Amino acid sequence: MIPAAPLPQPLSPSRPRWQQAWREAVRDPRELLAMLGLEALADRVSDQAALQFPLRVPRGFVARMQHGDPRDPLLRQVLPLDDELRAAPGFGLDAVGDSLARTGPGVIQKYRGRALLVATGSCAVNCRYCFRRHFPYAEETAARDGWHEAVELIRADAGIDEVILSGGDPLSLATPKLAELTAALAGIPHIRRLRIHSRLPVVLPERIDDALLGWLSALPWPVAIVVHANHANEFDAHVDAALARLRDAGAALLNQAVLLRGVNDSVDALAALSERGYAAGVLPYYLHQLDRVQGVAHYEVADDEARALHAALAARLSGYLVPKLVREVPGDPGKRPL
């Protein structure tokens, strides 16, 4: 581990400190490699891949990478490589059928009872394996018109009992913007649960500040927060503290991970992820097979191997530490178990 850089002071007292940490994210692949003592890897970095989907990684996340390790599982999730430019059959642009399931601006409804809001297109980290690398999400978010159309769609459909904030990363929105949404939703009697899908508690734990916790603990519904960590090394004391604060505010914490070649494609890595997450108060939820979008084929683990890994994991761990191994298939009524 390399020591975390000291957190810079906020520019103005009214601007939350996490936004400063957000802006300080590393964006230059060569700077990232220099921080890790990996200058020799520079010729494997793809400028073209970085042009398509820029490198972006918060400094606190870099601090959890192993200095001098070219195969670090966190580095592998964020470094643009030439591998991304190779075309692979079956890897397209909209692998999960989002454009068909859209019911309004930033509203995606695929499954019974649940409306997913694309709250924003922004993320604090750019994960190379993400479908977001191709999607014009930022252009059409549910927050765009002050949430108006999204809220009216939900109000009009009494079958919706759960609202899922997703993205992008919904916690990249400022807290008052989130509060604007939940104030509008609070008047809709058929909503029973709120869910938040966010990688920020893991990649930018500074985001879990007093204002966010105040908002969260005052919400009128049970709240589940589904975080996203793929490897045990993504947790550190800052992340543990952020997660503990979220639990104290009443949120149930779950983790979804993606099965990724070279990151977590071993029983040891997957077991350590479940155990480390649980130590931080997070139960495993899903282990996703990769969405087959262009540029990510080098991360794929074949279905047979995925099933074998999952069976070995189930033979090793307590039942509640075994995530469900699933794939998203367009048209299905839910995530499909493998």
Ligand X SMILES: *Cc1c(COP(=O)(O)O)cnc(C)c1O
Site residues for ligand X per CB under 6 A: 101, 108, 110-111, 114, 116, 164, 334-335
Burial code of 72-92, b = ≥16 C-beta within 10 A, e = fewer?
bbbbbbbbbbebbeeeeeebe
Residue entry with tokens 């990769």: 290
Phi, psi of 114 (to 5 degrees): -115, 125
Q: Which C-beta is closer to ligand SF4: that of 130 or that of 317?
A: 130
Does the annotation flag 3 for ligand binding? no
The answer to whether 112 and 129 are in contact (CB under 8 A) is: no
| Residue 249 lies near ligand SF4 (rule: CB under 6 A) | no
Residue entry with tokens 């009494």: 158
| Residue 57 lies near ligand SF4 (rule: CB under 6 A) | no
Q: Which C-beta is closer to ligand X: that of 111 or that of 215?
A: 111
Does the annotation flag 127 for ligand binding? yes
> Does residue 138 come out as left (phi exceeding 0), alpha (psi in the -120 to 50 range) or beta?
alpha
Q: Among residue numbers 180 through 209, which ones bind ligand SF4 (CB under 6 A)?
A: 199
Q: Which residues contact 112 (CB under 8 A, 6 or more apart)?
A: 159, 333
Does the annotation flag 123 for ligand binding? yes
**Chosen residue from 50, 130, 181, 297 binding ligand SF4 by CB under 6 A:** 130
Instruction: Tell me the three state secondary structure of residue 205.
Output: helix
**Chosen residue from 115, 125, 178, 225 binding ligand SF4 by CB under 6 A:** 125
Task: Count residues binding ligand SF4 (CB under 6 A).
Answer: 11
Question: Which residues define the annotated binding site?
Answer: 123, 127, 130
Binding site for ligand SF4 (CB under 6 A): 123, 125-127, 130, 132, 167-169, 199, 228
Which residue positions form the known binding site for [4Fe-4S] cluster?
A: 123, 127, 130
